[in-house]
Amino acid sequence: MNNFVAIEPKSFVEYEAAVNASGGLVKPISPDVRAMVWTNYQAPQELAEVLRVNPQLEWVQLPFAGVDAFADIISASAHSRRAVNFTSAKGCYREPVAEHALALTLALCRAIPERVQDKTWGRQFAVSLYESRVLIVGGGGITEELLELLKPFKTDVTVIRKRVAGNMSGATRTLGFEQLDAQLPLADVVILAAALTAETTGLFNEQRFNLMKNKSYLVNIARGPMVVTKDLERALEIGSIAGAAIDVTDPEPLPDGHSLWQAPNLIITPHTADTRAMVVRLFSKRISENVAAFLSNGNLVGLVDPQLGY
């Protein structure tokens, strides 16, 4: 058994160092390479072709927590004679993304979108996050980290997640997706931190914005298509919700001149919850631990469940 690991389609010195530090040896993809780190989220078809001509591959490390771009590939592999183990970066970027979610939440509560544009003293308005009701959609590593960050604010936190196996630590309650609509009218802040799947695509539409309080805020640090863009724009324009902050958009990047740029009480950050510098550092750690696992006990971190899609 060899220790060859390919890094495709583009290698980075940091990733090569992570492979070498864990007992692997970086080598271009070839018939004797059993493991591969894939570095391009935008090239799923290219990955599919690499897998087709390299049936010896046993494990592929994907670069981000969300694997929606590779859903068809993962599903096809699961139903083939020789399934490939796919691992995602879920949990890798939990700290910076949770930090960004908190920053956006506080900015909305303190009316920062309004303040940064004001050229006069302005209205006396702010909302405190302390002892507010927060609803988080998604129960992964970002949510775990965010629950820790919210503790000092003594918030009442409801987590909505796909699989409920007891209460998440730090949450007031943990419920299934079937409880989402009943919880929306109670929330002061709604934070989206779920994976993009068939179930979560378009999850926040006109119907759900109408269920939210007109004093509530939406924060999206998950995936843009979880929110119907035109419905968010409309909700902000008519005041169905008080404001929103989004680090992801649909389409993405959001084109210059798009009407969403003009929506009131909206903060848009250009998918910077985790910057390239953060990603390289944190993803290198995941590569290192998974290469070591692949070459020893096989206990890979971040295994993708083909049924769940994350």
Q: Catalytic residues, which ones?
A: 223, 252, 271
Residues with Cβ < 8 Å from 70, sequence gap 6 or more?
44, 47, 62, 86
Residue/partner pairs of 77-82 with CB below 8 Å, 24 or more apart:
77/51, 77/306, 78/306, 82/55
For residues 144 and 147, give the distance between their C-alpha atoms in angstroms, rounded to a whole number: 5
Asked whether the beta carbons of 161 and 138 are under 8 A apart, the reply is: yes
Question: What region does 239 belong to: left with phi over 0, alpha with psi -120 to 50, or beta?
Answer: left
Report whether 206 contacts 194 (CB < 8 A).
no
204 forms beta bridges with 227
- For residues 253 and 230, is the Cβ–Cβ distance under 8 A? no
β-sheet bridge partners, residue 267? 245
CA 28 to chain centre: 30
Beta-sheet pairing, 4-8 with 35-38: parallel
Neighbours of 249 (CB within 10 A): 22
What the block records as the tokens of 98 is: 């949770």
Please answer whether residues 90 and 242 qualify as being in contact, where contact means their C-beta atoms are separated by less than 8 angstroms.
Answer: no
